[in-house]
Structure 1
Amino acid sequence: MELLQSTEQFEQYKNAERVIFMFSADWCGDCRFIDPSLPAIEANYPDYSFVKIDRDQFIDLCVELDIFGIPSFVAYNNGQEIGRFVSKDRKTQEEIEAFIDGLEK
């Protein structure tokens, strides 16, 4: 999973086809809980690009996008938000995959 380096890079990714941003932080226990599942999720959804965003590094972006809980996922396609799975609750691989399955194609 690629790690976001700048807000300019976020705009580039956001305007690409089928991108899922994962908002996370090193100190977040629920984020660490899903880390082992992320390679399998990426492998199961090759049509999507996955980008991890460090919440602490990009706090202004999180505020702008109403990301107040992590881990959270927001999906875009060609600049349009097509879905969000945003909460402070722990997420399982099954819940994340159900979210991706429900995205607009």
Structure 2
Amino acid sequence: MKKVSSTEEIREFINSDMAIVYFTGLDCGACEAIKYKVEDIIKEYPKIEACEISGEKYPNIAAEFGIFSLPILILYVDKKETIRTGRNVSMLDLEKDIDRYYNMIFN
């Protein structure tokens, strides 16, 4: 995932057909574990854009996106927020949802 530090950079990612914006904490074990699992999942989907931003380092940006706890993953499909999930994410369900949307858009 590409690390970003501004709302403008996030909006660039959101403007793609499919994008993941991942809000993470600085010293958060759950954040790191989920990040690595998501990165493994999206390796199979080369057209998905993904970025990561520290919600602790940039609290104003996190608040702008309605993020008040970490970690939070947001999947945008066709510039619209489609999935928002946090610490208790089911990786199997997330992968199924990503696969379904990816196939609808790109196949």
Is the shorter-chain TM-score for this pair beyond 0.5, marking a shared fold? yes
Residue of structure 1 in register with 2:64 after alignment: 64
Q: Secondary structure at the match of 2:43?
A: helix
**What whole-Å deviation, never above 9, does each CA across 1:60-96 have from its counterpart, x for those lacking one?**
12112221222211122343222222x3x34353243
Q: TM-score, normalised by structure 2?
A: 0.75
> Compared with structure 1, are the counterparts of its residues 39 and 78 closer, same or farther at alpha carbon in structure 2 (3 Å cutoff)?
closer
Q: Secondary structure at the match of 1:66?
A: coil
Quick check: 1:20–1:73 contact (8 Å CA) kept in 2?
A: yes
Residue of structure 2 in register with 1:25 after alignment: 25
Gaps of 5+ in 2: none
**What whole-Å deviation, never above 9, does each CA across 1:25-44 have from its counterpart, x for those lacking one?**
12112112224323311212
Quick check: 2:21–2:50 contact (8 Å CA) kept in 1?
A: yes
Residue of structure 1 in register with 2:51 after alignment: 51
Quick check: 1:30–1:91 contact (8 Å CA) kept in 2?
A: no
State the aligned residue count. 103
Tell me how far apart the structure 2 counterparts of residues 97 and 28 of structure 1 sit (CA, whole Å). 22
In the alignment, which of 88, 91, 100 is matched to residue 89 of structure 2? 91
> Compared with structure 1, are the counterparts of its residues 19 and 63 closer, same or farther at alpha carbon in structure 2 (3 Å cutoff)?
same
Q: TM-score, normalised by structure 1?
A: 0.76
